[in-house]
Amino acid sequence: MQDITASETAKNNHGGLCAAGVAQLESRPGDGSCRLYDTAERPASLPGGQVVTLARGEQSRLTRLAPAKFALAYDDAAGTGPLAALHAAATAPGQPVCADPASLAMMAVAGRVAASDIPVLVEGPTGTGKEVLARFIHEHSARKSGPFVAINCAAMPETMLEALLFGHKKGAYTGATEAAEGFVRAADGGTLLLDEIGEMPIALQAKLLRTLQEGEVVPLGATKPVPVDIRVIACTNRDLPTEVAEGRFRADLYYRLNVFPLQIEALRSRKGDIAPLAFAMILRHCPAEGAVPFLTEAALAKLAAHAWPGNVRELENVVRRALLLAGDTLSIDAEHIRFDTAVRRLGTIEHAAPPVLADGNQLSDIARHSETRAILDTLELTGGRRGAAARKLGISERTLRYRMAAMREAGTLDNAAAQQPRVSAGAVR
């Protein structure tokens, strides 16, 4: 972000927030408060038209005055809370919330990549916000007026994925009573996001490669290709070079997608994002106008100390849980921050001691606990990549999925909802 240029009054009254480099502060005569402005344009031209009014107060409080208009009162400009709330309020809904230096550097690169039309491969652990980054690239590209079509390759049955991607003619297979254009043609003129590309069957990868190379698609049951104009962004939590080396991913498709790689780090590696993201989630789940619950410094310290094996997805679960526990109060304290039992075992620096055989402790229970611990630890070690975890455990990926499903039923693994293919409004014609 650019350096702040503010009046002396603003610097004196809000120096702590000025030094953070969030935006320009302009003094408002009379009450000593300041309105937040973008450094490049004025007035009130933050992304999404956000407007934030700053003022000193006896306690920190964030109030939503209108959908994109906020008032932030703060008692300590050096505190983590006010600055994090400012970042969240100044970010338009759906846009990446970034405050950590590593994230800001990555977003600067993403902005430059968006201006081009080259394929992008976004890599990172599950739950880090890869689709949010993909949407940012689309919305800052020349294709922003076109459709943004997202499909999760891992959520689709292998037998249906080809028809869903490339479309089909009427009668192409049993049950195809009507023709369908497919996700690739739905993205014509815009951007196609292939989420979890590492899960795509290798037999289908060749057809995708042809589409990318030739700019055309052949629907199932058709004999003539249909031209398409798309930009492809692919996301994965797998180590694709390893997948290529072991024959599970085509090398030619990998190089076709990996024109410009972007790496999103795990949340624990970008701690500067944790507090702003938490406030952004509070705003998301408290949409009504008025004062919103404010995270205390003790609560923020507890969030910062956690290892976040579930990344941003886990953080959202924790925030929603805290909002429920805080009730009607406007303060979220450390006592309202609760982590899942299984996650706490992964989040501690020192692992708990193995269970000992005691009265009433069946050997089968101890074996089950040890198996659960081994799976959780290996998933953390591999960044949530099931294939890599299965290989380290010496079992098939299918067996690992079965064990994980059993763990979810037992409440020892966070049951994140399976993502479905997502198509933005107006994308399918």
What would the pLDDT profile of 140-167 be if each residue is shown by its tens digit?
Answer: 999 999 999 999 988 887 778 888 898 8
What pLDDT is attached to residue 167?
86
Same domain, 209 and 146: yes
| 236 and 298 inside one domain | no
The verdict on 243 and 129 lying in the same domain is yes
Answer yes or no: do 123 and 216 share one domain.
yes
Query: At residue 429, does pLDDT exceed 60?
Result: no
> Which residue, 214, 246, 266, sits at the end of a domain?
266
Q: Which CATH number covers residue 237?
A: 3.40.50.300
Say if residue 21 is in the same domain as residue 136.
no
Residue 241's pLDDT band (boundaries 50, 70, 90)?
Answer: very high
Are residues 215 and 173 part of one domain? yes
8 Å CB contact between 34 and 52: no
Average pLDDT over residues 182-196: 95
pLDDT value at position 416?
38
Which pLDDT does position 9 carry in this prediction? 39
Decide: helix, strand or coil at residue 330.
Answer: coil
Q: Is the per-residue pLDDT at 257 higher than 50?
A: yes
104: pLDDT strictly greater than 80: yes
Q: Indicate whether 153 and 260 sit together in one domain.
A: yes
Kindly state whether residue 2 falls inside one of the protein's structural domains: no
Of 14-18, 220-224, 260-264, 386-390, the range with the highest mean pLDDT is: 260-264
pLDDT band at 5 (very low <50, low <70, confident <90, very high): very low
- Euclidean distance between CA atoms 255 and 385, whole angstroms: 21
Q: Tell me the pLDDT band of 336, cut-offs 50, 70 and 90.
A: very high
Average of pLDDT values for 363-381? 74
Tell me: do 357 and 335 sit in the same domain. no
Domain shared by 307 and 401, yes or no: no
Give the Å distances, CA to CA, from 358 to 127, 352, 353, 361, 363. Answer: 38, 17, 14, 5, 9
Query: Residue 360: which residues within 8 A CB-CB, separation 6 or more?
Result: none
Q: How many domains does the chain have?
A: 3
The answer as to whether 89 is a domain residue is yes
Give the model confidence (pLDDT) of 13-62 as tens digits: 444 444 444 444 444 444 444 444 333 333 333 555 677 777 778 888 99
Task: Report the range of poorest mean pLDDT among 217-226, 307-316, 352-361, 376-385.
Answer: 352-361
In terms of pLDDT, which residue wins out, 387 or 141? 141
Would you state the pLDDT for residue 342?
A: 54
pLDDT in tens, 416-427: 333 333 444 344
The answer on pLDDT for 83 being more than 80 is yes
Of the spans 88-102, 197-211, 272-286, which averages the highest pLDDT? Answer: 272-286
Residues 248 and 294 occupy one common structural domain: no
101 CB-near residues (< 8 Å, 6+ apart): 272
- CATH no. for residue 360? 1.10.10
Q: What is the mean pLDDT of the chain?
A: 79
- The separation between CA 62 and the C-alpha centre of its own chain, rounded to angstroms, equals 24
What's the pTM value of the predicted model, to 2 decimals?
Answer: 0.72
DSSP assignment, residue 354?
P
Same domain? For 295 and 281 the reply is yes
High-pLDDT (> 70) share of the chain, %: 77
Write out the residue range of the structural domain in which residue 250 sits. 116-266
**Low-confidence winner among 110-119, 188-197, 287-296, 404-413 (lowest mean pLDDT):** 404-413
**Average pLDDT for 321-329:** 93
Which segment of 167-171, 214-218, 269-273 scores lowest on mean pLDDT?
167-171
Select from 360, 359, 342 the least CA-distant residue to 351: 342
Flag whether 106 is in a domain: no
pLDDT at 352: 42
Question: Max CA-CA distance within the chain?
Answer: 74
Residues 296 and 358 both lie in one domain: no
Pick the more confident residue, 45 or 193. Answer: 193
Tokens representing 357? 């055989």
Report yes or no: 165 and 204 within 8 Å, Cβ to Cβ: yes
Query: Which range among 72-76, 251-255, 329-333 shows the weakest confidence by mean pLDDT?
Result: 72-76
What pLDDT sits at residue 410?
A: 67
Share of the chain above pLDDT 90, in %: 45
Between the alpha carbon of residue 319 and those of residues 62, 277, 315, 337, 367, the distances in Å are 16, 10, 6, 7, 33
Lowest mean pLDDT: which of 217-221, 223-227, 285-289, 354-358?
354-358
Q: How confident is the model at residue 74 (pLDDT cuts 50, 70, 90)?
A: confident
